[in-house]
Amino acid sequence: MTYILYASEGTGSVVCEAVLALSGLPHRRVDVTILAPTGPDPELIQVNPLGQVPVLKLPHGEIMTESAAITLYLADLVPEKDLAPVPSNPLRARYLRWMAFLASAVYPSSLRKFYPERYTADPAGAEAVKDAAISRLTREFAVLAAGLGTSPYLLGTKMSAVDIYAAMLIGWEENQEGMRDVFPGLIQLAQRISSHPVLRPIWQRNALPL
Ligand SMILES: N[C@@H](CCC(=O)N[C@@H](CS)C(=O)NCC(=O)O)C(=O)O
């Protein structure tokens, strides 16, 4: 009955680790290396041929990849923990919108910024890929900040799993002071998550800003 999370410090597995911790579901973490010169951990390749984290192995053996799918799945498993609005809740639409936006727009822009060489066949083009990714990220964070408005959380006054996902991506920005100047609401949202008593140690271990 144990959920097994394949994780690596400082990566997108942190949101799944956080939701697992809040869920109270029995779980354990398997720490794997992803970017070693010798290639990803063979244990990871066995469950995800792309060599990426997070991966969640369900108690009945099913393998899940994709951070947003895992987050949505886990949060729905424990409705009593109030990590996600149930489908009949009008806030469900906003919850799904931001979850998909973070996973399909912001996260890939971060990846292009951190690993630009993967997104061009021209070694001289990596810098331009990175610059374009930074501009795109700024536009995407502006959309997110506008959606947040003056609320403490993306769904209003109550924290949900999508805030944890957002806080992870905000935390990956190296220039936190610059982010605070331009998007103070996003930094405040990230700080609400990083100061949560259950999430703080997870944030700390994953080298995310506190
Ligand atoms: N779409 C995937 C992306 C996962 C991903 O890119 N994970 C990164 C860490 S943040 C990784 O494992 N990178 C290693 C690699 O791509 O070789 C998700 O949302 O889970």
User: What is the per-residue pLDDT for 201?
Assistant: 98
Longest dimension (CA), the chain: 52
Helical (H) or strand (E) element with 179 = helix 176-182
> How many CB atoms within 10 Å of residue 75?
23
Instruction: Give me the sheet containing 55-57, strands edge to edge.
Output: 27-31, 3-7, 55-57, 63-65
Residue 63 — φ and ψ, nearest 5°? -105, 130
Measured CA to CA, the distance from residue 196 to residue 198 in angstroms comes to: 6
Question: Could you report the per-residue pLDDT of 16-40, keeping only the tens digit for each?
Answer: 999 999 999 999 999 999 999 998 9
Measured CA to CA, the distance from residue 54 to residue 65 in angstroms comes to: 6
User: What is the per-residue pLDDT for 194?
Assistant: 98
CA-nearest residue, atom 12 of ligand 1: 52
User: What is the per-residue pLDDT for 98?
Assistant: 98
User: What is the per-residue pLDDT for 207?
Assistant: 97
We find that the CATH architecture of domain 3-81 is 3-Layer(aba) Sandwich (3.40)
> How many CB atoms within 10 Å of residue 200?
14
Q: Mean pLDDT throughout 3-28?
A: 98
User: What is the per-residue pLDDT for 58?
Assistant: 98
Contact 119, 129 (CB under 8 A): yes
CA-nearest residue, atom 2 of ligand 1: 66
User: What is the per-residue pLDDT for 78?
Assistant: 98
User: What is the per-residue pLDDT for 142?
Assistant: 98
Confidence class for position 105, pLDDT limits 50, 70, 90? very high
Q: Mean pLDDT throughout 158-166?
A: 99
Q: Which residues line ligand 1 (CB under 6 A)?
A: 11-12, 34-35, 51-54, 65-68, 103, 107, 111
Measured CA to CA, the distance from residue 13 to residue 16 in angstroms comes to: 5
Q: Mean pLDDT throughout 92-116?
A: 98
Question: Could you report the per-residue pLDDT of 45-78, keeping only the tens digit for each?
Answer: 999 999 999 999 999 999 999 999 999 999 999 9
When the pLDDT of each residue in the chain is averaged and rounded to a whole number, the result is 97
* Residue 149 zone, left/alpha/beta (φ > 0; ψ -120 to 50; rest): left
CA-nearest residue, atom 18 of ligand 1: 66
User: What is the per-residue pLDDT for 193?
Assistant: 98
User: What is the per-residue pLDDT for 83?
Assistant: 98
We find that the CATH architecture of domain 92-196 is Up-down Bundle (1.20)
88 Cα–ligand 1 center, Å: 32
Indicate the top mutation candidate among 45, 47, 52 to test ligand 1's pocket, ranked by most ligand atoms within 8 A of CB.
52
Domain layout of the chain by residue ranges = 3-81, 92-196
User: What is the per-residue pLDDT for 66?
Assistant: 98
